[in-house]
Amino acid sequence: MYRVLPKFYFQYSIFTFHYLDYFFFATFCLFTSRISPGHPQLTCLEPPSIRQPNTFFPIFVIRIYFIQLLLLPSQMFKAAAGSPFSALDKSSKSKKKDQKQSTLSSFLGSSQKSQSQPFFSLRKVPALRRASSDGAALFGNTHRKRSHEKPTKGTSIQNSIEITDEESHSDKSEDSAIVAALKSQSQSTRNILLTRSFSGFKDGRMSKSQPVNLEEQERKRARLNFKHSKPLVHHLSFREVGRARFPDSGVRLSDSNAIRGEKRVLEHVEGKETEMGSSGTDSDLEITGMVTRSVEGKDPLQREGINTKSTLHKSSSSSNGISGISSTTHKHVHNLHGSSHHGHRHAHTSEMRDGDGHVRVSKYHIPSSKRRPLPWVVSGTLGNPRLRERSTQAVKRESSTGSRGLSSEQSEVLDAVMFGHKNVFFTGSAGTGKSFLLKTMIRRLRMRYGPSAIGVTASTGLAATNIGGTTINRFAGIGLGLESSIRLCNRVRKSRSAADRWKTTKYLVMDEVSMIDATMFTKLNDVAKMVRGIDKPFGGIQLIITGDFFQLPPVSKRSGSRRGKDADGADFCFNCDAWRECIDETFLLTKVYRQSGDLELAEMLDSLRLGRLPPYVRQKFKALERPLRYPDGILPTELYPTRDEVERANRSRLNSLSGESMTFFAKDSYGPEFAPGRGGNGKHPGYLESVLDALMCAKVLELKEGAQVMYIKNDMEDTTIVNGTIGKIVAFTSSDLWSYFCLQFKEYERLAYQPLLTYASRFIGNRQADLDHTLYEELIASNPAALGKVTVLPALIARAKRQQRRDLLPLAKFTVNTSEGYRLKLVEPMDFASESNPNLVRTQLPIILAWALSIHKSQGQTLSRVKVDLTRVFEKGQVYVALSRCTSTSGLEIVNFDERKVAVRKDVVRFYSKLKKNKSRKKEQQEKLARAK
């Protein structure tokens, strides 16, 4: 009250004074019959031509009253602002301002602290949109005056920004950055503001012919009173990024599809984060800056300042004049706007150069209408914490493994693919990061050429999903590939999608190539040449092939086929002519990552791989035949050579669980070509069944609460739970009840309140079930958090009672890589199509029991606790694959280790010894060259 009353009193006096003023003035006019507008505000409203004394007086008085009424609020405000009591009013504001000033001072550096200039924050900044290539600040001309943005006094502001020292920003950090940017060039910004306000130049360009009277403008500026404020956030949507072209680096983004666009931009950023540093060109730095900045949609300094690690390495000079900001920011700003000494970095023109003038970014156009925030931010103060976390992890990893997160060996392969444009095959023992490197390459290639130019394939479905691809048979459109090359080619030509795939593919990735036989490889080469009509290896497609021939052999061998086997019984593709024709360079990776924490195990596995087991190594393996107990009660994954053993192990574990079991039967569907009488079923009894049985999903799936399961599908929308994610069944519930539960509880609350759902689910199809109070109390005791929202329980139970038992689905708690560590997911049926014939479909829950896995399914996985039963090993390479999944001996338990079952193929040994020799020869030559230099 003590603030408001004096203000009102003062305002009232002003009001009275004005009216007396006008009364005397009007009387004077009446008697003199001459009107001379005495109030400055009337100047523009009252043309001097109106000078008719007889009619003028009443009109004049009415007008004055009317105008006074209109102007009253702003006058009151002004009066209050100028009143001696306004200091009281502003006390809290000034506190804030002081606080802000101190923040800014620290932000701007100590040199700025002593200055007593007011600090400016930016209002109505949507008008500020871009910077010219020569660094002069330009302001957008599309900003329209809004009704609530009226100035109080006779200024005609059409398009303007305001700089004011008032407080009202919500995001202080952002504000600080903006202010700092403006501070560094406040003079020019002020000029622009004032020139725009009072000289009305066009297209937002500062009119150099207009003299700028700073003092006058400063005074007038103080009169402006914009209520509206917006922070300087330039959001660049994926569509806009899609238009950015980076010709010097070859990066071209052209996707305009909403969802895919976002994902791709994300990939670009990730890719750049890993690639930037080691290539060491400013071009990379430039592009990353652009993309990251675009994605983040945050103010420029923050966006660039928080940029990735390689920016840190490259930091050096500063030219933007902003002191106190890390050198990272400086360098980056400099690189983006080499010639600019201004802080605005939204490029409108078609050229932007780095500090050395190397990089040109063309057509970086940002239409204002499309500015909107992206839902995710890669780094910085805003944004998805998961991505931020990932980014931090990337930085950590980089510091230990090199600037791109890759070892020098891995980088060499990457360079051969990206810059050498060679068909490469890279190999190495298990855990040397072949798949890791492949994923990095895929990401970078997709970033450069778009997803459709990269064919991502593997020999098996599981290996393919591991790298986000498909099987080579499916990609090629050749089914099982049993026909001749010409027939297969005709088959491909008939399928438009398959033919298009072959034609649009620039790079073909093949993982786990050890399982592709020579015959298949030759056929693929022929089909590619014929379909593309180019007589070059694979019709000119660049090949990226990886795998380890010491691991599992081609499928043809396993299925008992006698086609094309060599004397040793295997049909490895490295033996065929097509291989020699296609592969330009072969790389051998030697650094093992998987067992990097247990070098002893890494050495043992090396001997095992080559089939050379000296007695001391044999003893070490024998010593691992002991039962392991884990204090946390989490059991190891069991690996068996055969499917029967896997099923048996899982069943016995399931039987040991108490509780009701639920059985889910798969639903199979066949295409019309398999209708009885049209071949298919009739010709091969049991053929369809056997094809579907080869799918990952089970025909009959029995589950219980507490069962350990593995998710076996990749969901495009949900990237936390992927193929291979392990979880536990916590309840059987209906999708209706689950949806209701999800409505009641937010994502982060669901884990804590899940017992309520489990409890309520007992009432599904069991209306007579009694409320078991002891069980309920146990539930609450075990999870006190549930007490808070226990009122939801009756509604859950009432809803559950309306559901049928046939609606029940498993609810699993999956172990995921987020801060919570777990995620609940209701597992719903999905379609599994056969690789050889997509019209053969089995619909089943995408989970399998996962206490035990077959060794074949485990290939490519990294596991921390493994129990391997080697009793029924039937294949060369199987022992090595099984034992090499584990990261350390402390988590490895072996059952029935038999050294006689450890065998390798001679041609594989020859192939690798040749590779090793070549590698050491190459190394010697490089060393000689280095010494000579």
Ligand X SMILES: Nc1ncnc2c1ncn2[C@@H]1O[C@H](COP(=O)(O)OP(=O)(O)OP(=O)(O)O)[C@@H](O)[C@H]1O
Residues making up the annotated binding site are 428-435
> 393 to 422, contacts with ligand X by CB under 6 A?
397, 401, 405-407, 410
Binder of ligand X out of 383, 469, 860, 877 (CB under 6 A): 860
User: Rg of the chain over CA atoms, in angstroms?
Assistant: 37
Question: How far is residue 398's CA from residue 697's CA, in Å, rounded to a whole number?
Answer: 38
Listed ranges 134-142, 276-284, 425-433, 781-789: which one lies at the site for ligand X (CB under 6 A): 425-433
What minimum distance in Å lies between the beta carbon of 714 and ligand X? 17
Q: Return the number of the residue (261 or 860) whose C-beta is nearest ligand X.
A: 860
Among 728, 692, 697, 727, residue whose Cα is nearest residue 712 = 697
- Mention every residue, 6+ apart, whose C-beta is less than 8 A from residue 156: 200
Binding residues for ATP: 428-435
- The Cα 830–Cα 841 span in angstroms is 10
| Other C-beta atoms lying within 10 Å of the C-beta of residue 763 | 21
Please identify, using beta-carbon distances, which residue of 121 and 435 lies nearer to ligand X. 435
- Piece of the chain touching ligand X by CB under 6 A; list 424-432, 519-527, 704-712, 766-774: 424-432
State which of residues 275, 284, 398, 548 lies at the interface with ligand X (CB under 6 A): 548
Q: Is 432 in the site for ligand X (CB under 6 A)?
A: yes
560 exposed, middle or buried (CB, 10 Å; 0-12, 13-18, 19+)? Answer: exposed
The string of DSSP codes covering 602-645 is HHHHHHHHHT---HHHHHHHHHT-S----TT-PPPEEEESSHHH
| Beta strand pairing call for 708-711 and 726-733 | antiparallel
**Extended beta strands in 340-487, E state:** 424-428, 454-458, 470-471
Q: Which residue has the tokens 């067992």?
A: 595
Instruction: Give the count of residues interacting with ligand X (CB under 6 A).
Output: 19
Nearer to ligand X, 397 or 558 (CB): 397
Closest to ligand X by CB, 229 or 595 = 595
User: Quick one: which segment of 219-227, 434-442, 785-793, 895-903 binds ligand X (CB under 6 A)?
Assistant: 434-442
Q: Which of 35, 336, 359, 430 binds ligand X (CB under 6 A)?
A: 430
Whole-angstrom distance, CA of residue 188 vs CA of residue 99: 26
As measured in angstroms, the least distance from the Cβ of 833 to ligand X is 25
Interface residue with ligand X among 435, 471, 595, 834 (CB under 6 A) is: 435
Task: Name the residue nearer to ligand X (CB basis): 199 or 862.
Answer: 862
Q: Does 434 bind ligand X (CB under 6 A)?
A: yes
CB-wise, 271 or 433, nearer to ligand X?
Answer: 433
Closer Cβ to ligand X, 173 or 862, answer by number: 862
Nearest distance in Å: CB 740, ligand X: 39
The upper half-sphere exposure of residue 618, i.e. CA atoms within 13 Å in the direction of its Cβ, equals 10
Tell me the window of 429-437, 482-490, 631-639, 701-709 that interacts with ligand X (CB under 6 A).
429-437
Q: Which of 152, 744, 862, 890 binds ligand X (CB under 6 A)?
A: 862
| Pair 705, 750: CB distance under 8 Å | no
Nearest to 286 by CA among 234, 335, 240: 335
Q: Which is nearer to ligand X, 474 or 609 (CB)?
A: 609
Q: Which of 126, 140, 343, 433 binds ligand X (CB under 6 A)?
A: 433
| Cα distance between residue 845 and residue 48, in whole Å | 86
Lay out the site mask for ligand X across 809-848 (x = CB under 6 A, - = otherwise): ----------------------------------------
Neighbours of 862 (CB within 10 A): 16
3-state helix, strand, coil in the chain (%, to 5): 50, 10, 40
Nearer to ligand X, 311 or 435 (CB): 435
Query: Cα(414)–Cα(338) distance, rounded to whole angstroms?
Result: 31
Among 232-240, 423-431, 558-566, 784-792, which window interacts with ligand X (CB under 6 A)? 423-431
Residue 484 CB, nearest approach to ligand X (Å): 33
Minimum CB separation from ligand X for residue 409, in Å?
9
Other C-beta atoms closer than 10 Å to the C-beta of 208 total 9
Q: Looking at beta carbons, which residue is closest to ligand X?
A: 433
Q: By CB under 6 A, tell whether 864 contacts ligand X.
A: no
Query: How far apart are CB 429 and ligand X at their closest, in Å?
Result: 7
Q: How far apart are CA 236 and CA 890, in angstroms?
A: 50
Which of 316, 309, 315 has its CA nearest to residue 277? 309
Minimum Å gap between C-beta 399 and ligand X is: 11
The b-or-e profile of 27-40 (16+ CB within 10 A means b, else e) is eebeeeeebebeee
- Residue 410 CB, shortest distance to ligand X, in Å, is 6
**Is residue 308 within 8 Å of 291, Cβ to Cβ?**
no
Site string for ligand X, 586-605 (x = CB under 6 A): -------xx-----------
Of the candidate spans 433-441, 753-761, 800-808, 823-831, the one that interacts with ligand X by CB under 6 A turns out to be 433-441
Which residues bind to ligand X, rule: CB under 6 A?
397, 401, 405-407, 410, 428, 430-436, 548, 593-594, 860, 862
